[in-house]
Amino acid sequence: MSWSFLKNHSRTLLLAIPSGVALAGCLWRIIKKYPSTIIMIPTEENQFILSQCPSFSEYRPTPWLFNSHLMTVFGVLFRALPKIIFQRILLPVDDSGGTIAIDWHTRPCSGQPVLIILHGLTGGSDNEYVRWMILSAHSKLDMCCAVVHARGCGRSQLTSPRSFCAASTHDLRMSVQYVRSIVGNDTPIFAVGYSLGAGILTKYLGEEGNESRLNGAIICCASFDMLLSTANMEQWWHTHTYNRRLTNNLIRYIRRHEHHFLKTESLPNLNMNEAYQSKTIRDFDRHVIVPQYGFRDVEHYYTEASSKKWLKHIRTPTLILSAIDDPICPIDGLPIDDVLQNPYLIAVKTVEGGHVSYLQGWWPRTYSYDNVAVVEYIKARLKQMNYTFENKTEEQNLLNINV
C-alpha cells in the first residue's frame, strides 16, 4: 500500500477504524456469556422457582448498548409508549384529605390475579417501563394490573400539603388493603416495584412480616442503602447528568403543587425559594422532605428510607432483581448475608442492565428482560399455590373498583 494511497484515503480510513471497532465489539457481545449471580437458600420451594424461571440464569443485553449509561438513557428515550386507557380512582389515605391515584388498566374479574405496579421517582402510568410491564403481565398471565401512584404523581393532583416520601409505606399499605377489599382474600395479589417504588415495597414487606396481604413481590433496581446511592449520585458525572435531571423533575413536581405549601402554616421550616434553588436531590430532600416528615436532617431521612434492614423480616416470597452495572442504585447496598439467611428471598444480579432498562434484542422497542423475569416468577408462584384462573369477562363477573 503506497504512501500516496494512504494520504488520499486517510479520512475514509479514519472513519472506517472506529466503525470496525464498534462492529467487532458488537460481534463479541453477541457471542459472550452473561451469567447472572443467583443468591438464595436452596430450599425446595426456591429450587422449584428456579426450575420454572430459565431467564434468571442469564440476561443478554442489546449488543450495541456498550455501557450502563447508554442502557439507562436508551431505556427512557428509545422504547415506544404503548397506548393504554386507564380507569383512575382516587384513594383517600389519611384524615387530612390526602389521596393517591390508582390506575387500573381494566376492571378485574372475579378470581383474576392482580399485579400492583409501583413506579420510580416522579414517575407514573405514563412511563414506558410501567406500560410494557402491564402488557406483559396481561398478555402472558391474564393478570389485571393496577398502577399505584405516589402522592401527586402520574398527573394527579396533590390534595393535601404532604408530598411523597421514600421512608413512608403508609400509602402502599392503604393501597394493598383497598385492592384486597375488592378481590377478596382468595385471589392472588402480587406487586412489582421499580427504583423508588422498589425501596418502599421492600420496607413494606419487612414491616408487615407474616401479616403481608401479598402473595409474592418483585423488587427491581432498588436502592437498599440511600446514603450509598446519594453519595454515588454526587460523583462528578452523575451530578451533571442523572442527579440534575432528577432534581429538575422534583422541582417541577413541587412547583405543580406549590399552592398547598405556600398557604399552609403547619410547615414553617419549609422554604419554597430554597426548594426551587436545589441543585441536587440531597438539596431538595433537605428543603422539602425533611421539614414535612419531621426528620432531624437529611442523613436521618436517608437512614430511615434505606430498606436493607428490612430484608431479614420479609415473609412473602420475593424476587430481587438488580444489575451489577446500575449507575443510579448501586447493588453494593444489598446485604448478601441477609438474603442468604431468609428462605423467602431470591436475588438475581445480572451482569448488565443499567437502571430500570434491561433492553434486549437488536431493536429494543418493546418488551424488556425484567418483563420476562417478572412473568416467569409470578407464573411459578401461581403453580406453587396451585392456583388457576378462567377468565370470564361478562359484565356480571367484573368487580367494582370504586372507593
C-alpha cell read off for 355: 437502571
Which residues are paired to 190 by β-bridges?
115, 216
Find, among 101, 55, 146, 17, the residue nearest to 367 by Cα: 55
- Out of 326, 338, 368, 370, the active site residue is 326
Query: Which neighbouring-strand residues pair with 35?
Result: 58
Whether 94 sits among the annotated catalytic residues: the reply is: no
Which is catalytic among the residues 156, 163, 175, 195?
195
Identify the active-site residue in 355, 357, 368, 370: 355
The terminus-to-terminus CA distance of the chain in angstroms comes to: 79
Apex CA 220: angle with CA 62 and CA 292, to 5°? Answer: 130
Q: Exposure string (b/e) for 333-362, b if CB count within 10 Å is 16 or more?
A: bbeeebbeebebbbbbbbbbbbbbbbbbee
Whether 326 is catalytic? yes
Go through 363-380 and write b for each residue having 16 or more CB atoms within 10 A of its CB, e for each that does not: ebebbbbbbbbbbbbbeb
* Alpha-carbon distance values, 205 to 65, 201, 211, 311, 367 (Å): 34, 6, 9, 8, 27
Which of these, 36, 1, 23, lies nearest to 370 by C-alpha position? 36
Tell me which residues are annotated as active site.
195, 326, 355
